[in-house]
Amino acid sequence: MSGIQKDVARGIGALAFALAFGAAPALAQTKEPIRIGLSMAQTGPLSGAGKSGLVALQIWRDDVNAGGGLLGRPVELVVYDDQTNPALTPGIYTKLLDVDKVDLLIAPYGTNPTAPVMPLVKQRDLLLMGNFALDANAQIKHDKYFNNQPWSSAKDAVGPFLGLSTKLGAKTIAILAADAEFAQNLAGGVRQGLKEYGLRAVYDQNYPPNTIDFSSMLRAIRAQGPDVVFVASYPSDSAAIIRALREIGVGDSVKLFGGGMVGLQYASHLEALGSMLNGVVNYHVWAPEKTLDFPGMREFVARYQARAKEANVDPLGFYLPPYDYAIGEMLAQAVTATKSLDHKVLAKYFREHELSTIVGSIRFGPTGEWARPRMIYVQFRDIANKNLDQFRSPGKQVIVAPDVFKTGEVVPFNQLRR
Binding site for other proteins (CB under 8 A): 43-45, 47, 83, 85-88, 90-91, 94-95, 97-99, 112, 115-116, 118-120, 122-123, 139-140, 178-181, 184, 205-213, 215-217, 219-220, 223, 236, 240, 243-244, 246-249
Of 131 and 357, which has the nearer Cβ to other proteins? 131
Smallest separation, CB 37 to other proteins (Å): 13
Smallest gap from Cβ 158 to other proteins, in A, equals 18
| Least CB distance to other proteins at residue 198 (A) | 27
The closest of 319, 334, 350 to 235, measured between CA atoms, is: 319
Closest approach of other proteins to the CB of residue 133, in Å: 13
- Measured between alpha carbons, how far is 299 from 56 in angstroms, rounded to an integer? 13
Tell me the residue type at 268: S
- With respect to other proteins, which residue has the nearer C-beta, 273 or 330? 273
Between residues 217 and 399, which has the closer beta carbon with respect to other proteins? Answer: 217
Contact 46, 262 (CB under 8 A): yes
Closest approach of other proteins to the CB of residue 368, in Å? 16
Q: What is the DSSP string of 90-110?
A: HHHHHHHHHTS--SEEEEEES
Residue (of 139, 244, 239, 135) closest to 187 by Cα position: 135
Dist. CA 391–CA 413, nearest whole Å: 20
Least gap, CB of 42 to other proteins (angstroms): 9
Quick one: 217 or 334, whose CB is closer to other proteins? 217
- Compare residues 85 and 367 and give the one whose CB is closer to other proteins: 85
Amino acid letter, 25: P
Pairing of strands 355-357, 281-284: unpaired
Helix 89-98, helix 117-124: angle, nearest 10: 30
Rank residues 178 and 254 by Cβ distance to other proteins and give the closer one. Answer: 178
Residue 82 half-sphere exposure toward CB, CA atoms < 13 A: 33
CA–CA dist 200, 170 (Å, integer):
9
Nearest to 39, CA basis, from 123, 95, 103, 98: 95
Select 24 or 87, whichever has its Cβ closest to other proteins. 87
- Closer CB to other proteins, 32 or 98, in the complex: 98
Asked, as a colleague might, if the bond just before 160 is cis with ω within 30 of 0, I would say no
The least CB distance from residue 5 to other proteins, in Å, is 59
Minimum gap (Å) between residue 205 Cβ and other proteins = 5
Give the residue with the Cβ less far from other proteins, 210 or 393. 210
DSSP letters for 32-83: PPEEEEEEE-SSSTTHHHHHHHHHHHHHHHHHHHHTT-BTTB-EEEEEEE-T
Angle at CA 151, nearest 5°, toward 119 and 280? Answer: 120
Query: Shortest Cβ distance from residue 87 to other proteins (Å)?
Result: 3
